[in-house]
Amino acid sequence: MEPWIIILSICGAYLVVALGLGVWSGRTVSKSVTGYVAGDRTLGTLVLYFVLGASVFSSFAFLGAPGWAYSRGAAAFYIIAYGAVGMIPFYFLGPHARRVGEELGFVTQAEMLAHRYDSSALSVILAVLSVVVFVPYLTLQMKGAGFLLSTISEGHLPQWLGALIAYGVVLVYVFASGMMAIGWTNTLQGIFMMVVAWFLGLYLPYELHGGVQPMFEALAASDAGAMLEGPGLAANGSSWTWAGYSSAVIVSAVGFSMWPHLFMRAFTARSERTLKLTVVLYPTFQLFLVPILLIGFAGVLPFPDVSPADTIVPHLLTELELSPVLVGLVCAGALAASMSSGDAILHAAASIGVRDGITPLRTTPMSDTRQRLWIRGLVVAVSAVAYYFAVISEVSIVALLLGAYGGVAQIFPLVFATFYWPRATGAGALSGLLAGIGANTLFLVLPSLRPFPLHEGIYGLAANILVFTTVSLLTKPHDPNHLEDYTSGLSTTEANATPSPSE
């Protein structure tokens, strides 16, 4: 039997297991929207840990990060830098969001913000923003799955078909079981891909160079030695400036916990203590990235011209003549990385699209049953749109993610002010958000206009905060009684440090 057939068969078996677990997990959850979107707020520390971790580290980590290490060297370290600090804001904001969500029945980020700022327009705009940034993020996952299955099958399985098969499975279990499917499949996928990452990260440098230290010594002594000098190479192959590197870290760290699919996990936690403990444990997931980057560096000297760089992992696996069974298990782990983010993104995009985009525009309330039906319908629609872009797009995986981060980072000032600045108003929030998105989009589309070589998200945040603050101070503050739910959970120190509505 051809090796690629064995490899594909193992990946196929993994897909069957994931499908079965995902569908099975929804048997006990309620049939309400809260059950489908938030898992009835019952997730414990273990499942929540892997939901947060596996939801973030995906094709971006398993394919994009090694691709950056392979093609751009030290630039890839920015991934570890922002991941190490990106969850810090969530430690403070997440428990407040969970408390308010339980008291007022929220299951999405935009629901909470629209209520706090008393603005249905804000809800719709946040829904549009969320879905817009989710499409490239989901496209990223589909491209990763397609790259992987096409490469390991030696081209027998085209990229479009590989993406279709993998995300057909995701579509079925998300459609059937919602949040509970994501929780349990992410736990399986997270454990699986951690084991695979450490095995590959240690094995490949040893196999190709005799170990991790000899690998870096050989790189430093070669013509590629400049790759090890920070901050590494930019997307166009020139040296990335420290300003560009640092601003990318800042924007990514600010936007990290603002991703709506990640922020929504605050509403799924069993308790505030569970959420805080999960956030404290979360940085240990960064250990998963260390071997991932070693994989990319291992391929620089022996395989210098792999293109696109995002396929370096499957390329190494097929070139080293490993046991097909071993390669199959490794590829299944990489596939798990893609699916563990894709399912969460798909679920969140559909939930937000209905709860925050469609419902506020209706003149009559939508029943719980009908909302659940609409969410499932949007699961299918968003899948189709992302799949279309995955098949025709030629943009690199990490470039897709960096572009999306600038937009989602604009949500951070609104969330922060929700709990820590009562003087913030709906007009200010809406104006600031639009200004931030506008500035971010302008400098993303026309990078030549940037006065300094900073990530476009930095300009967006500057415009956002300036307009948000100014308009809020010039408009009438909200009724303190309306804000009580958002400030009552603050500690005495926090409350005393927060301006009063009349200030």
Report the candidate in 71, 76, 69, 78 with the shortest Cα–Cα distance to residue 297: 69
pLDDT in tens, the chain (503 residues): 788 899 899 999 999 999 999 999 888 788 888 888 888 888 888 888 888 877 666 666 777 789 889 988 888 888 888 888 888 899 999 999 999 999 999 989 999 999 999 999 999 999 988 888 788 778 878 887 887 788 778 888 898 999 999 999 999 999 999 999 998 898 888 888 888 889 889 999 999 999 999 999 999 999 888 888 888 877 666 778 888 888 888 888 888 888 888 898 899 988 999 999 988 888 888 788 899 899 999 999 999 888 888 778 878 877 887 888 888 888 888 788 788 888 888 999 999 999 899 888 887 888 888 899 999 999 999 999 889 888 876 655 556 566 667 888 899 999 999 999 999 999 999 999 999 999 998 998 888 898 988 889 999 999 999 999 999 999 999 999 999 989 875 543 344 444 433 33
Q: What angle do CA 234, 239, 243 make, to 5 degrees?
A: 80
Q: Which domains does the chain have, with CATH numbers?
A: 3-25+58-406 (1.20.1730.10)
Residues near 221 by beta carbon (within 8 Å), at least 6 away in sequence: none
pTM comes to 0.80
- Residues 369, 286 contacting (CB under 8 angstroms): no
- Residues 219, 297 contacting (CB under 8 angstroms): yes
CB-neighbour burial class of residue 74 (10 A; exposed 0-12, middle 13-18, buried 19+): buried
Question: What is the number of residues in the chain?
Answer: 503
Give me 4's structure tokens.
């690629």
In sequence order, what DSSP letters do the residues of 86-98 get, joined into one string?
A: TTHHHHHHHHHHH
Report the candidate in 154, 175, 203, 138 with the shortest Cα–Cα distance to residue 19: 175
Q: 3-state secondary structure string, 348-370? A: HHHHHHHHHHHHHHCCCCCCHHH
Q: At 238, phi and psi to the nearest 5?
A: -80, 170
In sequence order, what DSSP letters do the residues of 161-227 get, joined into one string?
A: HHHHHHHHHHHHHHHHHTHHHHHHHHHHHHHHHHHHHHHHHHHHHHHHHSSHHHHHHHHHHSGGGGG
Report the candidate in 442, 473, 476, 478 with the shortest Cα–Cα distance to residue 459: 442
